[in-house]
Amino acid sequence: MPEEDISRDHLFISYAYEDAPLADWLVRKLVAQGYRVWCDRFKLLGGESYPRDIDTAIKIQTFRFIALLSRYSLEKPNPTKERTLALNIARERHEDFVIPLNVDGLRAVDLDWMTSDLTFIPFNENWASGLSQLLKKLTSLNAPRPLIDGVEIAANTLSEQSVLSDSSEVLHSNQLAFVQIPEVIRRFKFVRPIDHIERASISQLWPAFFIDRVNVLAFHSPRKLPNALTVISTGGSAWRYEEKIDGVRSTNVMSSLMKKEFVHYCRGKGLLSLGRDEVYFPSSFLDGKLHFAGWDGRRTWVQVVGQRSAWRANKPRFEYKYNLSIRFALVQRWNEQYLLQLRLGVHITDTDGNALPTRSALARRKAICRSWWNDAWLKRTMAICEFLADGKDTIEMGLPGERIVIDARPVTYQVALGIDEAALENEGVTATPEELDIVDDEDELLSDGESHD
């Protein structure tokens, strides 16, 4: 078909896989406004199906090329190739064919010479305000809006046929089952009252629950104490059968002691404390990697510490560090079995190890974890479990005869319904990681399925 017979009535969205949530949101918003949109995560959305010949589609069927620019899209081959073609078209036609969206605060100096002089629409702080500016831009360009049922089309991408199947499926959790818990909480008494400084020192050496300056509860006696302090054992109580121990709910004492034991054990493995129930991997940790066997049995690794750069408007590039952290909680199932729940996160600091202000840390954390989907979190959980268990099947804490034993394999659940992958394709989202040009950051993710022994 001759080029003059083809209508340029589509908006083409180019992006990196890590920015897919914004791409999906933006596509639906534009379609709801009546625009025909091409995005490789959707088969068909108010226009022709996603083109096999992308270059031809951009050249002769695209009204405007919307580029989601981020540090990811600048590094990936596919977005770079699409963007280069679109910029060449813009120069040939002497029109602002490319509409760049600033996804994560890129500065002009971070861009190549072809892109740096474009006028960006900021999406790095507020998607809603960014969309408002984009719609004004498209209106000023008299962009075609041929869809009269755009709202319905956009809504259908979220509410079409069920993606559930009747086949059962295994779900992996972030919970570890206790194999053994000491049944007795023991009482200890110091030969003299301790002060708050001594209490802090004792807490570093002995997982204990302090009733007052003299009386202490613990699962086991201390291996050692500071300043030649001495304690005397004064009996114990079976926490499952007594509502309170020395005036405190037995389950609360047990839960507190379990957390203290876990922190104490993690510190013995080289991790650092970050509050009462959180630890993190120090920047000096080995080579910054944990090697482990994935759920398919193949050896791989995950990065637990790293360093990144942040772009800030009219300011120098900011370097910061992140360290994988573990928060944990004790949960109880319907059958009264206790589980240890691992909640992973990242501890953000400057390059000197100083914690960042809360708002800045949250922004950095969002940037790091934005592409960590369920499998990424599960792999990190499995890596931590293998590390804590020294490659064995169980994690063992405490002293002989009073041990806490935890199954190092995350609890799995067999559910009656599964996910129908074919139905997902019919929902519109079709692109695979390979098609979306995924390249793992060297400071961040894993080498899936490869051996690094």
What is the per-residue pLDDT for 43?
66
How large is the average pLDDT for residues 261-280?
91
Cβ-based burial of 314 (10 A; exposed 0-12, middle 13-18, buried ≥19): exposed
What is the per-residue pLDDT for 447?
30
Q: Which residues contact 57 (CB under 8 A, 6 or more apart)?
A: 10, 12, 38, 51
Query: Who has greater pLDDT, 349 or 423?
Result: 349
pLDDT band at 275 (very low <50, low <70, confident <90, very high): confident
* Top-level class of domain 3-159: alpha beta
Q: Compute φ and ψ for 372, nearest 5 degrees.
A: -90, 95
Written as one string, the DSSP assignment of 214-282 is SEEEESS--S--GGG--EEEEEEEETTT-SEETTEEHHHHHHHHHHHHHHHHHHHTT-EE-STTEEE--
pLDDT in tens, 303-326: 999 888 876 656 677 889 999 999
What is the per-residue pLDDT for 109?
67
pLDDT in tens, 73-129: 888 888 889 989 999 999 899 888 999 999 988 776 677 666 767 788 999 888 999
How large is the average pLDDT for residues 428-443?
39
Written as one string, the DSSP assignment of 29-82 is HHHHTT-EEE-TT-S-SSSSPPPS-HHHHHHHTEEEEEEEE-HHHHH-HHHHHH
